[in-house]
Amino acid sequence: MTPDRGIPTIAEAARQIKAGILSPVSLTETCLDRIEKYDPTINAFHTVFIEEARATAKQAESEIEAGNYRGPLHGIPIGIKDVFYMKGYKTTSNSRVMAEFEADEDAAVITKLRDAGAILIGQLNTYEFTFGGRPTFDALYPPARNPWNIERSTGGSSSGSGSAVAAGFCLGALGSDAGGSIRTPSAFCGIAGMKATYGRVSAFGDLPLSFSFDCVGPMTWTSEDSALMLQVLAGYDERDPGSVDTPVPDYVGPLNDGVRGLKVGVIRQFYTDDFEAPDEIVDAIDGIGETLKELGATIGEVNVSPLGDWHAVGRTILPAEAFAIHEENLQNRWEEFGPLARNRMMLGSLVRAVDYIQAQRRRTELLGEIEAALAEYDILITTAMLTPQPPLDDKAPFPFLDVPMIAVPFNLSLHPVQTVRAGFFDDGMPIGAQIVGRNWDETTVLKVAHAFEKQAGLLNRCPKLA
């Protein structure tokens, strides 16, 4: 067991469950106990599947005792962001518009988790329709809080997923990412999170925010755990128009191969020139390069177009696509939307066709810059946050106008990204970084992330819950 966190990692638990040392029933009860004790303060979950989780855990234990071990997620409690269809449960996306919606089938990733023997332990809070920009107190459910400091934001939109994993309520969680919604809460909550290559994980049954950005992925305590979850989640699905029929490699086997000989490019300009990030962020992200250099990698610096260009393109395309998806409900159920999500979507109604087309043209040019950088370097590194975690009750009406979106460049470029804990602010809040790889090469991204985590030793520090 990890002492302060109260639960093991997925990798630790899987080894113990397979060996008969750890019971899925006792592990599930540990998670349920922690949820009961601490979640009234954290608000990570809005619905806990107490009886279903217990029944599934007993079934998993019986199967394992009978020699029918399904793999590393068998008997592992996993939290579900409330944007994924789950037959028998409402899928609300934390909006009154969807308060009574119940799908008649499971999302693709829910089916994969069930087939792998995972214990689905509950539905996690999210920003409304994954498009709030900041937490709000007027959505269907109250906002999740950051376990490191409950007065600070988790980031979004996978807010409950970030807080639940950080608090030790579950061993992993599902997130979705159309503009940093996996990576921002992972960074703010000090955990690991993977936005795989667009098309790698099926988005069928995921309530979308964007046609061309939305990705589904794991949020976990370690990058090793992300690899274990991604191994289950990845794969082609003909029901998802964005899914790509390409082989799924072994993500877990190469994790300990090391980084010697790899070329790593650091995009410093994003957090030193284009935006002046605090010294703690600069030092933490630069420190990743130094750590990888100690492990045998070669480090260089990469320059691309200013972050403002990436931000402008993303902030044109994303609201336009969000408005297109939600237009009918915005016309007919206006008053049921929270003001922040509604107002941000309405910005998309002002985007002209010519603006959208020009943004897509510029997107292609920007994508080419990342492709060129990855032709020279195996991996790119930059920050996953430009400022400390803001207060939970931040009232900025359009928070994305104050700070550019540091995650959106890699939604635009579609490349795989792993978020890792890079350090801490002076007040003890975590700092996150992005590790970016070539399309379809999540294996190298996860290998580098795992090597850094082992060498840096930053994951020994956990939130102190009260």
324 is a domain residue: yes
Tokens 């260089």 map to which residue?
A: 300
User: Choosing from 23, 93, 153, 157, which is the catalytic residue?
Assistant: 157
Q: What is the largest CA-CA distance in the chain?
A: 62
**Residue 411: pLDDT over 90:** yes
CA 229 to chain centre: 12
User: Choosing from 159, 181, 202, 223, which is the catalytic residue?
Assistant: 181
**Predicted pLDDT of residue 400:** 55
Q: Are residues 325 and 335 in the same domain?
A: yes
**Predicted pLDDT of residue 1:** 40
User: Choosing from 81, 112, 195, 447, which is the catalytic residue?
Assistant: 81
Determine the structural domain holding residue 225 and report its residue range. Answer: 11-308+355-460
Q: 283 in the Ramachandran plot: left (φ > 0), alpha (ψ -120 to 50) or beta?
A: alpha
Is 349 among the catalytic positions? Answer: no
Q: Can you read off the two tokens belonging to residue 74?
A: 């068998």
Best CA proximity match to 330, nearest among 115, 298, 322:
322
Write the single-letter amino acid at 122. Answer: G
User: What percent of the chain is predicted at pLDDT more than 70?
Assistant: 97
The pLDDT tens digits of the residues spanning 54-101 come to 999 999 999 999 999 999 999 999 999 999 999 999 999 999 999 999
Read off the CATH number of the domain in which 369 is found: 3.90.1300.10
The pLDDT tens digits of the residues spanning 294-321 come to 999 999 999 999 999 999 999 999 999 9
Q: What is the CA radius of gyration of the chain?
A: 20
Report the distance separating Cα 343 and Cα 319, nearest Å. Answer: 10
Q: Are residues 322 and 302 in the same domain?
A: no
**Predicted pLDDT of residue 3:** 41
Q: Are residues 192 and 337 in the same domain?
A: no
The pLDDT tens digits of the residues spanning 333-387 come to 999 999 888 988 999 999 999 999 999 999 999 999 999 999 999 999 999 999 9
> Are 46 and 121 a contacting pair, CB within 8 Å?
no
* pTM of the predicted structure, to 2 decimals: 0.97
Q: Are residues 125 and 108 in the same domain?
A: yes
The pLDDT tens digits of the residues spanning 205-253 come to 999 899 898 999 999 999 999 999 999 999 999 999 999 999 999 999 9
> Are 334 and 327 a contacting pair, CB within 8 Å?
no
333 is a domain residue: yes
**Predicted pLDDT of residue 136:** 79
**Predicted pLDDT of residue 132:** 61
**Predicted pLDDT of residue 394:** 73
Best CA proximity match to 195, nearest among 462, 366, 439:
439
238 is a domain residue: yes
Sign of the four-CA dihedral 325, 48, 194, 230: negative
Report the distance separating Cα 371 and Cα 60, nearest Å. Answer: 44
Report the distance separating Cα 208 and Cα 220, nearest Å. Answer: 22
Give the residue from 354, 385, 417 where a domain finishes.
354
- The SS3 assignment for 230 reads helix
Q: Are residues 262 and 343 in the same domain?
A: no
**Predicted pLDDT of residue 398:** 61
Report the distance separating Cα 291 and Cα 54, nearest Å. Answer: 42
- The SS3 assignment for 102 reads strand
54 is a domain residue: yes
**Predicted pLDDT of residue 344:** 87
Is 62 among the catalytic positions? Answer: no
Is 81 among the catalytic positions? Answer: yes
Q: Are residues 315 and 359 in the same domain?
A: no
466 is a domain residue: no
Report the distance separating Cα 97 and Cα 333, nearest Å. Answer: 7
Q: Can you read off the two tokens belonging to residue 45?
A: 């979950």
374 is a domain residue: yes
Give the residue from 339, 354, 369 where a domain finishes.
354
**Predicted pLDDT of residue 2:** 45
389 is a domain residue: yes
**Predicted pLDDT of residue 200:** 98
Q: Are residues 289 and 322 in the same domain?
A: no
Q: Are residues 362 and 383 in the same domain?
A: yes
**How many domains does the chain divide into?**
2
Q: Are residues 127 and 88 in the same domain?
A: yes
Q: Are residues 326 and 386 in the same domain?
A: no
Q: Are residues 313 and 389 in the same domain?
A: no
5 is a domain residue: no
- The SS3 assignment for 172 reads strand
Q: Are residues 264 and 317 in the same domain?
A: no
Q: Can you read off the two tokens belonging to residue 295?
A: 């492990």
